[in-house]
């Protein structure tokens, strides 16, 4: 079957894509990456020969004009979701969710079967008012208590979607299935949901541990079960034209008990500090799944304790070693002296080796920080030497070098040895972009990195760019820094890269995820707007970001 997943880089979308690939279907994912992430998992899925990924904003009519036809199944998951988005920008929620629905209906040919993702949020008003029983069935009356309240914007947008699909289906003979998801959770769902949010806080050692709405009840559904239900529904002719719940009603759980389970799974034992529930959240929520069971024979199969454990393992792997300690920032680049206390807020810090004494490096290591020594591999700022070329780097003034000069190799290896002997746990290899200056030097540079790796043993090696050295570079280093990924410094200030450069960088960042490497971005910014822009893009491409000034004088 040819399957189109709109919003396919998101949480449910990518899990669904994997499942459909296992079932031997051709899968095309469309996403604008406003929330879905171009991470290692998307890169893995993308490598599958039956997968196509299209980056497009589905609120744009142009995007739909370019989208091919000929689908057996279409899953509409793309939407603005999440409490924070809804509270912050309800107008965007209504606009995006509605436009995507209406564009799809104008575009779609009548032979494709469509799944529309709706939500249990449609019952919030009725449950709140005590008008709707819990467990709740699909035919419960729906109540929008206050059209002006931001939290209803999401439910309203989904109800409009349901109505738009059901009426169009009747008028045009379209095959449509409406699934109302109830509290789906699992790996790769971001942090704006109670389960990952609690897991991340527990792993970071929060104590006392705040539990808002401890006395509320929820029924959580592991994502594999939700995907199973969706797939079965799309295979069931009787589901066409119906609204059907998707969830797990087997363990209705009090939020305080969820917290206790999270502690157990994370191996922590903090004191619970009960807090008021977030405004507008309902006290009890559970789907009646009779219709889903009757139509498909579905039974949830992942108990909450298993699902929470699997989710925890995924988030722990994302955070990497050291995740049990209080949360710290992944990396800092600081080219000044001292500031040891501030530097302990980071897992890795890149420093100028001549500014730090062995005792200071020992202090950082004791605090769980990995100090990395800055080293330039293709430029020399030292006194005149036979390996230097006549030309200088116009930005920094250092002399370019002849990379095949044995004196330079010896010089670099000596510096590396001295830094590691002084107590640095790794090296930061700078100026690896010789493809722009002396492309004939690329093999010599690669050889130099190989020699450093041989000498450095298992020390951490972080490369600055060096894309011309890939794929071999990926075998030699532990991480790659994408310096100036989104923002650069220009004469007298800082500015985003022009769109064509941003696109080029985006392509490279996507390719980097194919390697098993730590990926970082370093951007230069002097105001909050630019820093926020850099943060948004780094999050989109799943890069750990550090923002600083041109001189790297901030920590």
Ligand X SMILES: NC(=O)c1ccc[n+]([C@@H]2O[C@H](COP(=O)([O-])OP(=O)(O)OC[C@H]3O[C@@H](n4cnc5c(N)ncnc54)[C@H](O)[C@@H]3O)[C@@H](O)[C@H]2O)c1
At its nearest, how many Å lie between ligand X and the CB of residue 80? 6
Cβ-based nearer residue to ligand X, 26 or 57: 57
C-beta closer to ligand X: residue 127 or 476: 127
Q: How far is CA 73 from the centre of its chain?
A: 27
513, 299 Cβ separation under 8 angstroms: no
From candidates 81, 153, 244, 265, binder to ligand X by CB under 6 A: 81
Buried b (16+ CB within 10 A) or exposed e, 84-96: ebbbeebeebbeb
User: Which residue has tokens 């009519």?
Assistant: 61
How many chain residues interact with ligand X (CB under 6 A)?
27
Using left for φ > 0, alpha for ψ between -120 and 50, and beta otherwise, residue 213 falls in left
Two tokens at 83? Answer: 């409490």
31 binds ligand X (CB under 6 A): yes
Q: Which stretch binds ligand X (CB under 6 A): 33-41, 144-152, 372-380, 547-555?
A: 33-41
Q: Are 218 and 136 in contact, with CB atoms under 8 Å apart?
A: no
Residues in 118-137 that interact with ligand X by CB under 6 A: 119
Note whether 59 binds ligand X by CB under 6 A.
yes
Both structure tokens of 186: 């699992």
Closest distance to ligand X from the beta carbon of 346 (Å) = 29
Q: How far apart are CA 254 and CA 194, in angstroms?
A: 12
**Residue 33 touching ligand X (CB under 6 A):** yes
- Tell me whether residue 434 is exposed, middle or buried, using C-beta atoms within 10 angstroms of its C-beta: 0 to 12, 13 to 18, 19 or more: buried
Between vectors from CA 421 to CA 417 and to CA 423, what angle results, nearest 5°?
125
H or E stretch including 88?
Answer: helix 83-88
Q: How far is the CB of 269 from ligand X (least distance, A)?
A: 29
Write out the binding residues for ligand X, residues 383-442 only, by CB under 6 A: none
Least Å distance between CB 13 and ligand X?
5
User: Quick check: 34 binds ligand X (CB under 6 A)?
Assistant: yes
Per DSSP bridges, beta strands 399-401 and 460-464 are unpaired
Within residues 96-115, the interface with ligand X by CB under 6 A covers: 96, 100
168 or 331: CB nearest ligand X:
168
The reply to whether 90 sits near ligand X by the rule CB under 6 A is no
Contact status: 79 vs ligand X (CB under 6 A): yes
Distance CA 174, CA 168 (A): 7
Q: Minimal distance in Å, beta carbon 388 to ligand X?
A: 49
Residue in 383, 339, 374 with CA at minimum distance from that of residue 353: 374
Per CB under 6 A, 161 contacts ligand X: no
382/398 Cα distance (integer angstroms)? 8
Backbone CA torsion sign across 322, 328, 333, 335: negative
Select from 3, 74, 184, 202 the one that contacts ligand X (CB under 6 A).
184
- H or E element, residue 97: helix 90-107
Q: How far is CA 388 from the centre of its chain?
A: 43
Query: Residue 171: helix, strand or coil by DSSP?
Result: helix
User: In terms of CB distance, is 78 or 124 closer to ligand X?
Assistant: 78
CA angle, residues 354, 356, 359, in degrees to nearest 5 = 140
Nearer CB in complex with ligand X: 100/265? 100
The nearer residue to ligand X, 35 or 544, going by C-beta atoms, is: 35
Q: List the Cα angle 521/451/383 in 5-degree steps.
A: 80
Binding-site member from 183, 281, 486, 542 for ligand X (CB under 6 A): 183
Residue 77 contacts ligand X per CB under 6 A: yes
Task: Give CA separation, 241 vs 112, 166, 322, in Å.
Answer: 14, 6, 50
9, 202, 291 from 16: Cα distances, Å: 10, 28, 21
Instruction: Provide the minimum distance between the beta carbon of 156 and ligand X in the complex, in angstroms, as a whole number.
Output: 13
Range in contact with ligand X (rule: CB under 6 A) among 4-12, 337-345, 447-455, 518-526:
4-12
Contact (Cβ atoms closer than 8 angstroms) between residue 158 and residue 152: no
Q: Which of 3, 4, 5, 10 binds ligand X (CB under 6 A)?
A: 10
Contact residue for ligand X among 13, 287, 371, 423 (CB under 6 A): 13
Q: How far is the CB of 361 from ligand X (least distance, A)?
A: 42
Residue of minimal Cβ distance to ligand X: 10
Where does this chain touch ligand X (CB under 6 A) — which range of 125-133, 179-187, 468-476, 513-521? 179-187
Among 5, 27, 42, 80, binds ligand X (CB under 6 A): 80
176 near ligand X, judged by CB under 6 A: no
User: With binding defined as CB under 6 A, does residue 58 bind ligand X?
Assistant: yes
Pick 156 or 481: Cβ nearer ligand X: 156
User: Among the candidate windows 7-15, 165-173, 205-213, 430-438, which touches ligand X by CB under 6 A?
Assistant: 7-15
The nearest distance, CB 48 to ligand X, in angstroms, is: 18
- b or e along 63-80 (b: 16 or more beta carbons within 10 Å of the residue's beta carbon)? bbeebeeebebbbbbbbb
Q: Are strands 493-496 and 487-490 parallel, antiparallel or unpaired?
A: antiparallel
Least distance in Å: CB of 99 to ligand X?
8
CB of 428 to ligand X, least distance (A): 33
Residues that bind ligand X (CB under 6 A): 7, 9-13, 31-36, 57-59, 77-81, 96, 100, 117, 119, 181, 183-184
């Amino acid at each position: 079957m040819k399957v189109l997943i709109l919003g396919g880089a998101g949480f449910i979308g990518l899990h669904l894509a994997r499942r459909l690939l296992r079932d031997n279907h051709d899968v095309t994912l469309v996403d604008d990456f406003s929330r879905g992430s171009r991470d290692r998992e998307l890169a893995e899925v993308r490598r599958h020969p039956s997968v196509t990924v299209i980056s497009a904003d589905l609120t744009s009519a142009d995007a739909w004009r370019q989208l091919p036809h000929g689908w057996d199944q279409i899953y509409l998951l793309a939407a603005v979701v999440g409490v924070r988005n809804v509270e912050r920008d309800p107008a965007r929620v209504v606009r995006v969710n509605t436009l995507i629905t209406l564009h799809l209906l104008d575009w779609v040919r009548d032979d494709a079967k469509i799944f529309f993702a709706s939500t249990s949020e449609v019952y919030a008003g009725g449950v709140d008012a005590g008008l709707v029983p819990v467990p709740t069935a699909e035919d419960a009356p729906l109540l929008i208590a206050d059209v002006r309240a931001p939290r209803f914007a999401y439910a309203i947008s989904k109800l409009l979607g349901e109505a738009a699909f059901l009426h169009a289906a009747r008028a045009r003979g379209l095959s449509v299935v409406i699934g109302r998801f109830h509290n789906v959770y699992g790996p790769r769902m971001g942090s704006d949901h109670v389960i990952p949010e609690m897991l991340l806080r527990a792993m970071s050692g929060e104590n006392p541990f705040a539990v808002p709405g401890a006395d509320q009840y929820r029924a959580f559904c592991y994502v594999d079960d939700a995907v199973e239900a969706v797939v079965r529904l799309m295979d069931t002719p009787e589901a066409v034209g119906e609204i059907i719940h998707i969830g797990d009603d087997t363990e209705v759980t009090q939020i305080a008990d969820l917290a206790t389970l999270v502690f157990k799974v994370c191996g922590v034992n903090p004191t619970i500090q009960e807090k008021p529930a977030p405004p507008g959240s309902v006290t009890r929520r559970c789907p009646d799944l009779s219709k889903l069971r009757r139509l498909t024979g579905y039974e949830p199969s992942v108990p909450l304790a298993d699902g929470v454990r699997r989710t925890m393992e995924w988030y722990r792997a994302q955070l990497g070693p050291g995740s049990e300690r209080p949360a710290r920032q992944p990396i800092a680049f600081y080219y000044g002296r001292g500031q040891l206390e501030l530097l302990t807020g980071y897992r890795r810090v890149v420093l100028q080796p001549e500014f730090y004494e062995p005792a200071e490096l020992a202090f950082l290591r004791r605090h769980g920080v990995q100090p990395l020594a800055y080293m330039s591999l293709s430029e020399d700022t030292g006194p005149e030497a036979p390996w230097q070329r006549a030309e200088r780097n116009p930005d920094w003034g250092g002399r370019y070098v002849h990379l095949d000069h044995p004196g330079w190799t010896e010089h670099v290896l000596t510096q590396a040895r001295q830094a590691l002997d002084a107590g640095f746990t790794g090296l930061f290899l700078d100026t690896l972009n010789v493809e722009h200056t002396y492309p004939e030097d690329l093999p010599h540079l690669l050889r130099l990195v190989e020699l450093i790796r041989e000498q450095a043993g298992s020390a951490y090696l972080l490369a600055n760019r060096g894309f011309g050295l890939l794929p071999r570079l990926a075998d030699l280093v532990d991480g790659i820094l994408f310096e100036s990924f989104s923002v650069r410094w220009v004469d007298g200030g800082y500015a985003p890269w022009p769109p064509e450069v941003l696109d080029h960088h985006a392509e490279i960042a996507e390719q980097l995820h194919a390697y098993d490497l730590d990926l970082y971005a370093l951007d230069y910014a002097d105001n909050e707007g630019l820093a926020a822009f850099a943060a948004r893009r780094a999050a989109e491409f799943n890069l750990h970001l550090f923002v600083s000034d041109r001189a790297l004088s901030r920590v």
